[in-house]
Amino acid sequence: MSRPGEKRRASAFQPGRTVVARGLRRSALSDVYHFLLTSRWWQLLAMLAATYVGVNVLFALAYLALGDVIEHARPGSFADAFFFSVQTMATVGYGNFWPSTIAANLLATAEMIAGGMGLALMTGLVFAKFARPTARVLFSDVAVVRSWEGVPSLVFRMANARSSQIVEAHVSVMLLRNERSSEGDQLRKLHDLRLARSQSALFALTWTAIHPIDDRSPLRGEDAASLAASSASVIVSFSGWDENLSATIHARHIYGADRILFGRRLVDVIQDDPDGERIIDYTRFHDTEPER
């Protein structure tokens, strides 16, 4: 059960775990734009629809409070007042209803101003969410530790799930694990994992990332049990320039200790058919097999 001032959120570094933040009293409304922009589409549309209906209900009640001020509306009819409010806010003006007093005209003017501002804000928010550049980078479900060129290596692969080409692609990898400082303090420490190739001028199909586990590697001497004991995670960060979107895109993936397999290899997904064409079989993209 959450205590006052506590906020629970999914861990950014350990999939499946929850982080409890205490002492943060900021609500979602303290950064409405970010909250709405990062909401799912169905959540955003539901909130916009609920807000639209709610505002029209408030204006309908305001019209009813003024009395019989809507021409051709049934006296005391909430339905007529509500749909008059909808027509006024949307500036549709079908011609059947109109305000009949100064007070009603002033209220209708305020509603039209509010409706215009609301429409502008809603349009900008929907466009910003729709136009926000996103990456569709496919990461292998697991990373493997296998021998590569005679050196034990951490290996995973990525694929560009779009038909576009990504130029100046860059990948950085970090190891996060529990450690103790020389003073005995418990901490989560980040270590950079050097890749055999961290940049690519063109990322169109697949990319196999390889981290040699040599004497300089933080993974030297680690096995599945030690990674699990230290709650280790391998964090992958990808960025590149999407030519079609004309924007920099980012993607992130985390391999928990249980998603790092020792003594296995990712199966080959690139084959040559008899006609000389190269085939990439994405149906086996996540498959592994025992190391040869």
**Mean pLDDT score across all residues of the chain:** 86
Per-residue confidence (pLDDT) for residue 269, from 0 to 100: 86
Check whether 126 has a pLDDT greater than 80: yes
Question: Is 39-131 a domain of CATH 1.10.287.70?
Answer: yes
pLDDT digit string, tens, across residues 4-62: 555 555 555 555 566 666 665 666 556 788 888 888 889 999 999 999 999 999 999 99
pLDDT digit string, tens, across residues 251-263: 999 999 999 999 9
Q: What are phi and psi of 177, to 5 degrees?
A: -155, 165
Rounded Cα distance between 21 and 246, Å, is 37
Q: What are phi and psi of 88, to 5 degrees?
A: -70, -45
pTM of the full structure:
0.69
Nearby residues of 102 by Cβ (< 8 Å), 6 or more positions away: none
Per-residue confidence (pLDDT) for residue 83, from 0 to 100: 93
CB atoms within 10 A of CB 95: 8
Query: In Å, what is the CA distance from 95 to each residue of 38, 210, 237?
Result: 40, 70, 58
CB atoms within 10 A of CB 202: 13
Question: Domain ranges in the chain?
Answer: 39-131, 137-290
Architecture of domain 137-290: Sandwich (2.60)
CA dihedral 224→226→232→236, nearest 10 degrees, is -50
